[in-house]
Amino acid sequence: MGDVLTFERLDGIALLTLDRAERLNAIGSDTVALLHQALDTIEADESLRAVVVTGAGRAFSAGADIAELDTLRDGSEFGAFVNALTDVFARLAACATPSIAAVNGLALGGGFELALACDLRLAAPKARFGVPEVKLGLLPGAAGTQRLARLLPTAVAKYLLMTGEPLSVDAALGFGLINAVHDDVLAAALDLARTLAAGPPRALAAAKHLVDTGVESTLADGIVLERRTVSALFDTADRVEGLAAFVGKRSPVFTGR
């Protein structure tokens, strides 16, 4: 796909690899453009049932491309850069196809925000997570403050934002920020992606939507939405297939219909 992002198709899985290892996979405008292209493909191709995002080399991503930031003249230009990052991460977060971050090393700043935009996060033992922007007189600007506040206890989110200190993989696991730790994190992420890819696409997309919407709603409103969603799923071909496979003691073959 490009020099800074590779796109591979692996049996219904879209594997996106940040590929700027010599610069710890720094995210610049070129990466943003390629992420949009990748999402265009994923959203248009029903055969792609899961997404895995990882980094080449020893880092997931150390954050925004500082060399590019250094060329920006004022807050307006920086705002445009941050808006572009926010938009593509929001698009990944809203994508109906489930996504997994395979965090193979450092995930800092914008790299951490990219991992936060994924539905699930697996990490290698050497992974570290942080938002060091405060040490530059800044703060995360691609939804990092908001996603951290929703995924972590308030005091922990504030500590990370105010000190810029990293979070160890053990702490991240303890807080539920990541789902699991694996020595071969990419292999584990691809195994999990295969499980998701074999599942019913509409039900998976609905599960994602219900959780993401529910945390922003009242419990009563979320329950109403849940009932409507589950009732609609009952009329799908995948529900018929799932029940028939269960009764027939075989593996279901879901089509997304």
Residue-range domain boundaries for the chain: 5-197, 201-247
Which pLDDT score, from 0 to 100, does residue 3 have? 85
Hey, what CATH class is 201-247 in? mainly alpha
CA neighbours closer than 13 Å in the CB half-sphere of residue 18? 37
Which pLDDT score, from 0 to 100, does residue 70 have? 81
Closest alpha carbon to 97 in 65, 46, 49, 136: 49
Residue bearing tokens 């703060």: 139
Who's near 64: CB < 8 A, 6+ residues apart? 26, 27, 28, 81, 85, 109, 110
Residue 139 is given by DSSP the state -
Which pLDDT score, from 0 to 100, does residue 67 have? 83
Which pLDDT score, from 0 to 100, does residue 201 have? 96
Cα–Cα distance for residue pair 252/201, rounded to 1 Å: 13
Contact 70, 119 (CB under 8 A): no
**Helix 75-94 / helix 29-44 crossing angle, nearest 10 deg:** 20
**256: buried, middle or exposed (CB in 10 Å: 19+, 13-18, 0-12)?**
middle
On whether the 5-197 domain is CATH 3.90.226.10, my answer is: yes
Coil, strand or helix at 137: coil
Whole-structure pTM value: 0.94
Which is catalytic among the residues 22, 43, 77, 133?
133
- 226 catalytic? Reply is no
Give pLDDT tens digits for 15-34.
999 999 999 999 999 999 99
**195: buried, middle or exposed (CB in 10 Å: 19+, 13-18, 0-12)?**
exposed
CA torsion 56→59→61→64, rounded to 10°? -110
Strands 167-168 and 128-130: antiparallel
Give pLDDT tens digits for 75-111.
888 889 889 999 999 999 999 999 999 999 999 999 9
- 68 catalytic? Reply is no
Cα–Cα distance for residue pair 122/105, rounded to 1 Å: 11
Is 201-247 in the same CATH topology as 5-197?
A: no
Residues of the chain whose pLDDT is less than 70? 1-2
Which is catalytic among the residues 46, 113, 216, 226?
113
